[in-house]
Chain A
Amino acid sequence: MITAAAMYVAPRLVHLSAVDAAIIVFYFALVLTIGFYLQRRAKTGEDFFMAGREMTAWIAGLSFLSANLGALELMGWAASAYQYGILATHWYWIGAIPAMLFLGIVMMPFYYISKTHSVPGYLRLRFGESSRTLAAISFAFMTVLMSGINMYSMALVMKVVLGWNINFSIWVSSLTVAVYVALGGLRSAIFNEVLQFILIWAGALLIPILGLVEAGGWSNLKLQIAQNASPAYTHLWSTLGSFHNNPMGIHWTGIVFGLGFVISFGYWTTDFLVVQRVLAAKDLRSAKLAPIIGAAFKMLVPFIVILPGLLGLAVLPMKLTGETMAVATGGHSYNEVLPLMLARYCGPGLLGLGITALIAGFMSGMAGNVSAFTTVWTYDIYRALINKGGSDHHYVNMGRWCTILGVLISVGTAYLVMQFASIMDYVQALFSFFVAPLFGTVVLGMLWKRASGPGGFWGLLAGTLSSIGMWAWVKADHSALRYVALSANARDMAENMYRALWSWIICVLVTVVISYMTQPKPVSELEGLVYGVTAIPQEAEVPIYHRPVFWAIIVGAVFVVLNILVW
């Protein structure tokens, strides 16, 4: 979403005062202090990689969400809201909430009871070494690349918003993350993510509040958007009956089945970047509650991301354009809507807090990538394939060095993207190749005891290769879009939805067929891993308001009401 071209054109958007600079410097000092303070509590592998498995539901839940608020999240989705209207909210609601609740209630018991260190680790227990290796290598590779892209995006944002040198932004932010994660491990990453979560809200919430005051409330905002853009920009579902009636060129089937089912469930339930935070919970009830707490806050994120984009449509005096047009005219692009709104309402102090919120968002995402990479590399690649007999102390040291190495690879990727901007699009597409099939493999593994080891491996491989194949097919012949995305009018986002859906179906079909052709694991080896053969602790003695399922129902009900309100 945020690419190189537009970021180089616009002049600096805001000028920081001494107070703003002090707030930013204090933020960096505090996250480093937390890292140094937690160093003494990261002595064992369980401490360093799993944060001692002692996080409360609130800390794990907020960290779970914060790790997702990465570099492209805040500014990218605000830009999408300006460009596509309220449809962008789907990525926060149907594209997240059902999956997060499903993770908490259905999947978390198996992750947690199996005591796995990682999602690839679960695949080893359930399907065997080959599935683990495939998932671990693809995850580790993609995670550091994504981290580098996020880093580069952040540096571009800082250049446009503040006029900071790109090299300065890359090295200061990456070294800060490297120091606090290498010192304190996952615990340090989680603590800082909770801090960053609070700062993101403290810094960003004022924009929609003041924006609504200026626009004259929600009703007047809708009227102004209808005049400046189209009434369709403020409807979430009613325009999705046809590919042609909405700004995104997408049909409701793509949103519901592609985004709401496959992509969302794939990301929120199997991407180790977020799941790792929940695995660090202190007990099963906390582990189940954490994604539900995360879901409750996830529902609110559109207020600080989507609403500013919509407000931009109503109150900004200039018309934002696509990147090419912005380059040609010297104007502002969609990607600048959030900093423009920040500069519009925030004076000295508040501006520094808002910029700190952006930096915090970038750093929490980067730390999430790096800590997840470190765990998967150390446990699922290094210990599994290279050095099986090391001591716990050896693996902790490996984790520390790997953190620094992961950051350096990310920095290298950032510079690579700087030279070849198109890499950014390719890597983002590559990342999506693995998510949907992985969800197919994991969910079958958890819910179907007949799924066999070869079935899991070949299903995962077939799903991934088919996703790559469909992507290459459309790249080589654009007319193939009408087959892959069911419409020649489908845009990139719609193509991603349908490609994910097909690759998931292929993964599931191949897994089922191969499983019936091969021997399943004995039931005795599936205990703790699969539904039906795992004793899940009951919560009958716990008051109803302490039960995860109670809060999942509440969050689910609010989710339905919100969707109806902006139907």
Chain B
Amino acid sequence: MRERGISIWFFIGLSLLVNGVLIVSAGVWQIFNPPAKPVVLFHLHANVWWGAMLLVFGLIYCVRFAPRRQE
């Protein structure tokens, strides 16, 4: 789908990037402001590393399939 228009992989990258930024931000906030009722395995800070992974993948896809590279 790269031959015409914006690739679907760019939209996916954008989605992962935005979600990653939001989730990492929430995770970092919780490290400094621990909730009164934490989730199970809170000490693993899943939202930080999972969000970071989404952010990295999203960034890679956004750059790799950016619209300007299609032309």
Contacts and interface: CB of A to CB of B under 8 A. Distances in A.
Interface of A: 17, 19, 22-23, 26-27, 30, 33-34, 37, 41, 54-56, 59, 191, 194-195, 198-199, 202, 206, 210, 213-214, 315, 343-350, 352-353, 356
Contacts of A33: 11
Contacts of A199: 15
Nearest to B13: A198
A59 B1 contact: yes
Chain A interface main SS type:
helix
A194 B13 CA distance: 12
Contacts of A343: 39
Chain B CB within 10 Å — which of A37, A214, A347, A349 has the most? A349
Contacts of B12: 194-195, 198
B38 A195 contact: no
Interface of B: 1, 4-6, 8, 11-12, 14-16, 18-19, 22-27, 29-30, 35, 38-42, 44, 46-47, 50-51, 54
B15 A19 contact: no
Contacts of B38: 347
Most buried by B among A55, A56, A195, A347: A347
A163 B1 CA distance: 40
B10 to A, nearest CB: 11
Given A33-B11, A345-B40, 5 more contacts: A17-B26, A34-B8, A210-B44, A344-B40, A353-B23
B40 A26 contact: no
B46 A210 contact: yes
B1 A19 contact: no
Contacts of B14: 30
Contacts of B26: 17, 19, 347-349
A30 B11 contact: yes
A17 B5 CA distance: 36
A343 B46 CA distance: 13
A348 B30 contact: yes
A164 B41 CA distance: 28
A80 B34 CA distance: 35
B5 A195 contact: no
Given A55-B1, A202-B16, A23 B40 contact: no
Contacts of B42: 347
A98 B62 CA distance: 36
Contacts of A198: 12, 15-16
Contacts of B35: 347
Contact of B51 (A26, A54, A194, A349): A349
A347 B1 contact: no
B41 A345 contact: yes
Nearest to B8: A191
A195 B40 contact: no
A191 B65 CA distance: 15
Contacts of A350: 23, 46-47, 50-51
B46 A345 contact: yes
A345 B40 CA distance: 5
A349 to B, nearest CB: 4
Given A23-B22, A347-B47, A195 B8 contact: yes
B1 A56 contact: yes
B11 A34 contact: yes
Smallest CB-CB A-B distances: 9 pairs: A349-B23, A349-B26, A348-B26, A19-B26, A191-B8, A350-B47, A347-B39, A349-B47, A344-B40
A210 B41 contact: yes
Contacts of B4: 41
Contacts of A23: 19, 22-23
A353 B20 CA distance: 10
B5 to A, nearest CB: 7
B41 A213 contact: yes
B52 to A, nearest CB: 12
A195 B19 CA distance: 13
Contacts of B41: 210, 213-214, 345
A26 B21 CA distance: 12
A343 B18 CA distance: 22
A380 to B, nearest CB: 28
15 contacts: A26-B19, A30-B11, A37-B5, A41-B5, A59-B1, A191-B8, A198-B12, A202-B54, A315-B40, A344-B40, A346-B39, A348-B30, A348-B47, A349-B47, A353-B23
Nearest to B49: A206
A485 B6 CA distance: 52
A353 B21 CA distance: 12
B11 A195 contact: yes
A30 B1 CA distance: 18
Contact of B39 (A213, A344, A352): A344
Contacts of A30: 11, 14-15
Contacts of A55: 1
Contacts of B24: 349
A556 to B, nearest CB: 28
B67 to A, nearest CB: 11
A199 B15 CA distance: 8
